[in-house]
Structure 1
Amino acid sequence: MISNPTEHNAEETQSLIDQVKTQEPTRAKALQASFYMVNNWLTLDPDKARALIDELIASHYPDAQLLLGEYYSKGVEDEPDQQKALAIFQQQAQAGSTAAWYRMATLHAYGRAICHDPVKAYTYARVALDLGENGARSLLKRLEKTLKKDDIERALVARNDLLKEATL
């Protein structure tokens, strides 16, 4: 719902987050942080989002750094800072986060305030999929429709190099 705010509304999303809170309070806090980062809703609140992310980082929540990367990538506080976001995602990818590889792929494919690089996007999406991030499959299919065969081959060579270095 948060990732598709034009088809869902803030009220129903908040209601579901409240339901999650009864069973998984820390996960609900992460969802609430994401909720406060949705630009399409009147609930956008950079300060609340950042405070929750900082709490999650302090409590060593596994995906807290990814939320911080999203915070910078979306430009929640001000303008998108894709270099900060990429640095966070790269650090998390090197620490073994498959979701971080996928986030880098989507950033290079569709990110705001960054030059799109479909070859890099394909490379990172392929690494993400190879490491078990099944969401990368649809991005790869979309990229395959536009990339030339030579570009895909270059991406696969880069992927092989990254997989040699990746923390599994």
Structure 2
Amino acid sequence: MSQNPTIPAGDLTTEVIQNGFRAELQSYADEEGTPLEDPLAPRGDKTPAFVLTSEPSTNPRYPHIIVEESDDSAAPIDRRQSAFIQHDFAVMITVEARSSTEKFALKDAVRHFLQAREDALRDRGFAEPTISATPADWDSTSSTSSWQATVSGLVHTTDDPPQTTDE
């Protein structure tokens, strides 16, 4: 059984979005035999990655998956002390595909990822996930088909200073 560690408050988005969901989704897509496959793999050096943290500003390549923070509300676990804060943290995962068939395959693969990697996400500090999803095709003239899932969960933070990386 995995643990639910605390995260320094200053590292919350980096740990959950970049090092957690984005990194785990990309790793899952890179593995042989998982249902999440990048149909454009291998992508070149100048081609945006398959799993991103924002919409590409120039030359987007479809399909891709965008992982970003959707919502965060927080309160002390125990009002008598403030060392630990519990966050209701929501992550939005957007699938943008070239066709509805491709979108269906990718959204099912993302759902599979969320189930298969629940322990890995918990080990990174994201616990008790719940998923809600909706089509995201707002523009009938768009050449892509989109779907969004919001994954809500609990994240515990401390007031420890953010982690630094040596470069």
State the TM-score, normalizing by the size of structure 1: 0.28
Higher helix share: 1
State the TM-score, normalizing by the size of structure 2: 0.29
- RCO (CA 8 Å, sep 6+): is it higher in 1 or 2? 2
